[in-house]
């Protein structure tokens, strides 16, 4: 198959759909890969890194789209990219269509087969192509919190892990899923005093087994969260209710009980955020203060560590890219129901029920 990798054009997006290592695997499997010039420049993959492993370089995105059957990207296609999609194309990337009707309608009009990373499933019912980005965001959340606790950044002037003779900061992690456990691992590594709150008793038991005495766990009742907020220097929001807006666990009122210069990191901001006072921010201007409490609410945290994120994403996507390239979209989806769950748009119709319902567009099952 001919596989195309355009340069990402969304603002501040430096990740790339295929790393040179992934291209090498595809070339070894007998496929042709066409990469837009400078596609990997932002994360130190120059064109030579791609030609060395057998890719061809295209001078512009139009040439990539014109000469490829499958397009592998990171972010949802922008209007100019949608205009280049045709019915013969297979698009494999993050789409997040439920919140983006113009994109959904554009993809329907294109006639292309569009498989979204975020709805591909695994045997355990998890979302394996979202997981690496939650891992990145979870680990980053503690790094970011430590930074903003510094006096220069407007924080309390406290070191997360303290020093001998000075107590470490208290870190409350709301939600102990993928991002929550990764945040906890980093916070424990920095010797913070960590408590994870969740409403799943099963998950709390797993976390207890995993960390032993390194952390505490608590059921996420309103009272427990109120208490946590009042005594923690860092609160990390990492909850997810699949398919729904994040619950507002920390109210405006609770915020008033927090110490001045403490830090909230709302990882769940992409689902609306779990603090009442959260609103989405960008890497250009990542924080703001309410009641003297620093809020970090960047909706695409992994973008800040684009190189790590590109590798992590490719580790997860490559097996699916190979299957799609080897078998073609339809046969690959017939052979793997988890990949088929990724199908969002097919032959001009929305093929994912929840997206069709959310956008009030007609749904048609693909097979
Ligand atoms: N901001 C970013 O850049 C970024 C990056 C990656 C992921 N995310 C987002 O982070 C959020 C978390 O993702 P994840 O992969 O860790 O999810 P996950 O499903 O692995 O974990 C979510 C956890 O939240 C718990 N939970 C649900 N409701 C709760 C409540 N009321 N109180 C306490 N716990 C509750 C669940 O039991 C689960 O353990 C999602 O919204 C995801 O989209 C954001």
Q: What is d(CA 38, CA 225) in angstroms, rounded to the nearest whole number? A: 47
Q: What is d(CA 31, CA 24) in angstroms, rounded to the nearest whole number? A: 10
Active site residue 291: no
* Ligand 1 mean position, distance from CA 238 (Å): 4
Name the more confident of 98 and 14: 14
- CATH (residue range 2-120+305-359): 3.40.50.720
- Angle ∠(143,145,151) on CA atoms, nearest 5: 115
Q: Is 72 in the pocket of ligand 1 (CB under 6 A)?
A: no
Span 21-61, pLDDT tens digits: 999 999 999 999 999 999 999 999 999 999 999 999 999 99
Ligand 1: nearest atom to the Cα of 197: 33
Q: What percent of the chain has pLDDT over 70?
A: 100
In terms of Cα–Cα distance, which of 70, 106, 57, 81 is closest to 9?
Answer: 81
Q: What is d(CA 235, CA 170) in angstroms, rounded to the nearest whole number? A: 9
Give span(s): CATH 3.40.50.720, the chain: 2-120+305-359, 134-299
* Ligand 1 mean position, distance from CA 239 (Å): 3
Q: Is 308 in the pocket of ligand 1 (CB under 6 A)?
A: no
Q: Which residue has a Cα nearest atom 11 of ligand 1?
A: 268
Counting Cβ atoms within 10 Å, is residue 39 exposed (0-12), middle (13-18) or buried (19+)? Answer: buried
% helix, strand, coil for the chain, step of 5: 40, 20, 40
Q: Is 153 in the pocket of ligand 1 (CB under 6 A)?
A: no
Chain Cα centroid distance, residue 333: 23
* Ligand 1 mean position, distance from CA 309 (Å): 18
* Ligand 1 mean position, distance from CA 83 (Å): 34
- Do the strands 215-219 and 349-350 form a parallel or antiparallel pair, or are they unpaired? unpaired
Section 213-231 average pLDDT = 98
Active site residue 96: yes
- What topology does CATH give the domain 134-299? Rossmann fold (3.40.50)
Q: What is d(CA 363, CA 274) in angstroms, rounded to the nearest whole number? A: 31
Q: Residue 241: pLDDT band by 50, 70, 90 thresholds? A: confident
Look up the pTM and report it: 0.93
Q: What is d(CA 94, CA 235) in angstroms, rounded to the nearest whole number? A: 28
pLDDT surpasses 70 at 243: no
Span 282-299, pLDDT tens digits: 999 999 999 999 999 999
What is the model's pLDDT at position 150?
98
> Is the CB of residue 350 less than 8 Å from the CB of residue 108?
yes
Q: Find the catalytic residue in 46, 47, 69, 96.
A: 96
Q: Is 207 in the pocket of ligand 1 (CB under 6 A)?
A: no
pLDDT surpasses 70 at 121: yes
Q: Is 241 in the pocket of ligand 1 (CB under 6 A)?
A: yes
Q: Is 134 in the pocket of ligand 1 (CB under 6 A)?
A: yes
Section 187-198 average pLDDT = 98
> Is the CB of residue 3 less than 8 Å from the CB of residue 321?
yes
In terms of Cα–Cα distance, which of 217, 266, 273, 267 is closest to 245?
Answer: 273
In terms of Cα–Cα distance, which of 108, 115, 93 is closest to 343?
Answer: 115
Span 296-331, pLDDT tens digits: 999 999 999 999 999 999 999 999 999 999 999 999
* Ligand 1 mean position, distance from CA 134 (Å): 8
Which are the contacts of 137, defined by CB distance < 8 A and separation ≥ 6?
179, 182, 267, 301, 302
What is the model's pLDDT at position 272?
87
> Is the CB of residue 158 less than 8 Å from the CB of residue 179?
no
Q: Is 127 in the pocket of ligand 1 (CB under 6 A)?
A: no
Cβ neighbours of 261 (radius 10 Å): 20
């Amino acid at each position: 198959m001919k596989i195309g990798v355009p340069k990402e054009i969304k603002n501040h997006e430096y990740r790339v759909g295929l790393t040179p290592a992934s291209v090498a695997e595809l070339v070894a499997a007998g496929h042709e890969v066409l990469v837009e010039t400078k596609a990997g420049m932002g994360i130190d993959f120059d064109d030579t890194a791609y030609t060395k492993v057998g890719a061809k370089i295209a001078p512009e995105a139009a040439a990539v789209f014109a000469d490829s059957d499958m397009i592998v990207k990171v972010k949802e296609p922008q209007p100019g990219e949608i205009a280049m999609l045709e019915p013969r194309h297979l698009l494999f990337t993050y789409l997040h269509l439920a919140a983006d009707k113009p994109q959904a309608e554009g993809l329907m009009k294109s006639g292309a087969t569009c498989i979204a990373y975020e709805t591909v499933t695994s045997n355990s019912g998890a979302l394996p192509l979202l997981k690496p980005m939650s891992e990145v965001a979870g680990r980053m959340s503690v790094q970011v919190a430590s930074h903003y606790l510094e006096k220069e950044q407007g924080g309390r002037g406290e070191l997360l892990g303290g020093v001998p003779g000075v107590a470490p900061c208290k870190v409350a992690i709301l939600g102990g899923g993928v991002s929550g456990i990764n945040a906890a691992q980093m916070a424990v590594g920095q010797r913070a005093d960590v408590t994870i709150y969740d409403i799943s008793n099963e998950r709390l038991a797993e976390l207890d087994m995993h960390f032993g005495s390194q952390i505490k766990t608590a059921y996420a009742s309103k009272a427990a969260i109120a208490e946590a907020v009042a005594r923690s220097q860092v609160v990390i929001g990492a909850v997810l209710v699949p398919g729904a807006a994040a619950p507002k666990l920390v109210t405006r009122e609770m915020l008033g009980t927090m110490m001045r210069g403490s830090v909230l990191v709302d990882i769940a901001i992409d689902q609306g955020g779990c603090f009442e006072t959260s609103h989405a921010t960008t890497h250009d201007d990542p924080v703001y203060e309410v009641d003297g409490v620093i809020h970090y609410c960047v909706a695409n945290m992994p973008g800040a560590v684009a190189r790590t994120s590109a590798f992590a994403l490719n580790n997860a996507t490559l097996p699916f890219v190979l299957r799609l390239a080897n078998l073609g979209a339809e046969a690959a989806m017939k052979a793997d129901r988890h990949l088929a769950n990724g199908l969002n748009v097919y032959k001009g119709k929305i093929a994912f029920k929840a997206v069709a319902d959310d956008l009030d567009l007609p749904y048609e099952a693909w097979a």
